[in-house]
Amino acid sequence: MGDLSRYSMQHTLGGGVSACVRSAIDTQTKERVALKLFNEPYLSRKRNLRRISKEVMAMKAVSHPNVLKLIDTVGFSNGVPKSSKHLQAGLVLEEATHGDLYDFVSMTGKFSEAGATVLISTVLKALQACHNVGVYHKDVKPENLLVNERFDIKLADFGFATYKSVSEGSVLRSSCGTRCYAAPEVLRRAEYDARKIDVWSAGICLFVLLAGHPPFTEASSNDTWFQTFLDGRSDEFWAALRQQYPWFPEQGIKILSAMLNVNSEQRPTATELLKEDWLCPSEEAILEFKEEMKNKAAAIHKMKQTSTILIK
């Protein structure tokens, strides 16, 4: 367990009900890190303590360039976070200086086909690494895909993750994260293959990258297009998409049709998807993606500066 005093606090990166995330400098290594400091009221519930412990176990189990690295924990005792007026519990994480992918889409619009294929293949590689060691993320969405200074993508926030022995299999029944990214079998509260629900969520992400918005307004029977999928009439959705967005890549539709297959048994795994040529981007595509990310990051920085000036 680390010591919080070794970190020099910098600016706030974000926060929510459960925690505040601060940029910090490790005074011993001089490296920049992100500190996810849990709010004391959040730690007062045993359920949340169990969730944090599971989050730490899951992150420690996975080592991959596209999974956010857990460097250390502070304020933990026997794997459980402790917090008081004199002690704050948190996670020491590698810093992602460019924020999350949600901002890149919401503030600058959709990605090019090359950019989308590089991004989603990266996410699938991260999921493959997780699934290979029995970690299932269960909350894949653009907000949980972070971007570092080199524009590498990092799968983050394992707060809903499940970590099981590979020999136990991947069938689960526990709740998941964000509803609009959740697979139909999760919404039915049935047993599900956790590998396949991560693939469904990644499919929603891919659609967002290519179109600039989600495929459904909400994941419920109240949404006409979502119900179309549930009724086995997804071909109608793809036909309407082609008419509205004639530029939408056909290979993208082919991959999305597989990832968003309502029948989870027919939905491919991350490993199977990574064998598809469309999800094996060339060096040229990777360079194009890096340039696209650089341009989007500059545009976001300019917009935020303008916003700050207007507020002042």
Q: β-strands 32-38, 76-77: how paired?
A: unpaired
Q: Choose the weakest-confidence range: 20-24, 118-122, 231-235, 308-312.
A: 308-312
Res 175 pLDDT > 80:
no
| Candidate list 100, 103, 139, 198, residue with the active-site label | 139
Total length of the chain:
312
- pLDDT confidence of residue 83: 63
Res 312 pLDDT > 50:
no
- Three-state DSSP class for 148? coil
Give me the mean pLDDT over the 37-64 stretch. 92
Of 139 and 80, more confident: 139
Res 82 pLDDT > 80:
no
DSSP state of 233: -
Give me the mean pLDDT over the 41-45 stretch. 88
| Rounded CA separation 48/41 (Å) | 10
Res 308 pLDDT > 60:
no
Domains and CATH numbers, the chain: 4-94 (3.30.200.20), 99-291 (1.10.510.10)
Is 36 within any annotated ligand binding site?
yes
| Rounded CA separation 241/114 (Å) | 19
Q: Which of 148, 33, 59 is nearest to 100 (CA)?
A: 148
Of 189 and 275, more confident: 275
Tell me the CA distances in angstroms from 283 to 56, 111, 145, 155, 245, one per residue in order.
34, 17, 22, 22, 27
277 is catalytic: no
Res 150 pLDDT > 80:
yes
- pLDDT category at 253 given cuts 50, 70, 90 is very high
